[in-house]
Amino acid sequence: MDLSIVIPLYNEEESVDALYQEVTTAAEALDREYELILVDDGSRDATRAKLRVLCARDPRIKGIFFRRNYGQTAAIQAGFDQARGRVVITLDGDLQNDPQDFGLLLRHLDEGYDVVCGWRKDRKDSFSRRLPSIVANRLISALTGTPIHDNGCTLKAYRGDIVRRARLYAEMHRFLAPMMSLSGARYKEVVVNHRARQFGTSKYGFSRIWKVFLDLLTIKMLLGFTTRPAVWFGLLSLPFLVGTIFAFAISVYRHLTLLPHMQYSLVFPTITILFVFAAAHLIVLGVFAELVVKVGDFRQAETILATVDDPGESHHEQNIAQHA
């Protein structure tokens, strides 16, 4: 299988048929063997029924139906789990992405990139829809150090073996590319076509910003902390250790310079105690975290992408873990 096309769908009854037409037309033009993975994320409208009809018609389709709405990340992960292609393309089910861009993405992927992200430079959405997205993208770029303009664009192409290693949860689809880049994937951004929404309504709003922030914090910390928990927790406790020294010094100084008629204030000794508590708590947690990671099934090598020169492989990328 050359190509898997993964499309998450949630309440897209008006778009499904047109989407199918466009995607198949575009995919056929590529002249590659492909499969179409349509994931219904617990739609409450006719999407399910329409998908069933399509499934009964086209053997290249694989329909996955969720029990309830689990969100786009889960839908994409489900698609990834089913994808058998050497290359995997994801796109939105709302017709805003243009399947004609497939060729463009694949060309760049063949240049030797692991992930090619679509960039909706000329976005056809209202400002109120774009603003949270701009803020979120800035945040993601700043915190992960990957200057991607448009993390929210679902239209992306991936090398298949990366996809099969992806473990997405929560709402991680938004920083899939930064995450992959942190584990060594080479990414490229290409400007893709973006069309105004014809049917239905957008499923996002501003409320997601704080989630983006916390999720980012999580990923950032996870990537560092999981490999060396004791060290990172130790670093976290450092400010408190320094604080302890200062607070203690101040307490002693005040005690020594106390004049007979003044009352000694306990504020600084108490602060000393609090800081000691906090530092000890963090150091103990760090040791505990080492334990947690040790008994878990985390393999750092599995998260690392590396280039292995293997003349026998036409596709020169290999997972280091397979060789280890």
- Where on the chain is the footprint of another protein (CB under 8 A)? 42, 51-52, 54-68, 70, 73-75, 77-78, 81-82, 84, 167-170, 210-211, 214-215, 217-218, 221-222, 225-226, 229, 233, 236, 240, 250, 254, 265, 267-268, 270-271, 274-275, 277-278, 281-282, 285, 288-289, 292-293, 295-298
Largest CA distance in the chain: 95
The residue whose two tokens read 């004791």 is: 230
CA distances from 66 to 40, 101, 159 (A): 6, 28, 25
Nearer to another protein, 70 or 191 (CB): 70
In angstroms, the CA 160 to CA 33 distance is: 14
Helix (H), strand (E) at residue 136? helix 127-144
- Token representation of residue 111: 């240049």
Element (H, E) at 117: strand 115-119
Cβ 180 to another protein, closest distance in Å? 15
Minimum CB distance to another protein smaller for 113 or for 240: 240
Strand-pair partners of 305: 319
Residue 231 or 308 having the CB closest to another protein: 231
Q: How far is the CB of 121 from another protein (least distance, A)?
A: 31
Closest to another protein by CB, 196 or 292: 292
The answer to whether residues 63 and 55 touch, using CB atoms and an 8 Å cutoff, is yes
7 three-class SS: strand
CB of 58: closest distance to another protein in angstroms? 5
- For tokens 């192409």, the residue is 157
47 contacts 9 by C-beta, under 8 angstroms: yes
Closer CB to another protein, 289 or 321, in the complex: 289
Looking at beta carbons only, is 57 or 261 nearer to another protein?
Answer: 57
CB nearer another protein, residue 124 or residue 281: 281
- Report the nearest approach of another protein to the CB of residue 129 (Å): 23
Minimum CB distance to another protein, residue 71 (Å): 8
Please report how close the Cβ of residue 187 comes to another protein at its closest, in angstroms: 22
Q: Which residue has the tokens 């089913």?
A: 82
What is the rounded distance in angstroms from the CA atom of residue 171 to the CA atom of residue 215?
7
Q: How far apart are CA 77 and CA 190, in angstroms?
A: 23
* CB burial readout 172-211, b (16+ within 10 A) else e: bbbbbbbbbbbbebbbbbbebbbeebeebeeeeeeebeee
Nearer to another protein, 37 or 109 (CB): 37
CA distances from 180 to 110, 112, 117, 138, 159 (A): 18, 15, 12, 18, 11
Minimum CB separation of residue 179 from another protein in Å reads: 12
Shortest separation between residue 66's beta carbon and another protein, angstroms = 6
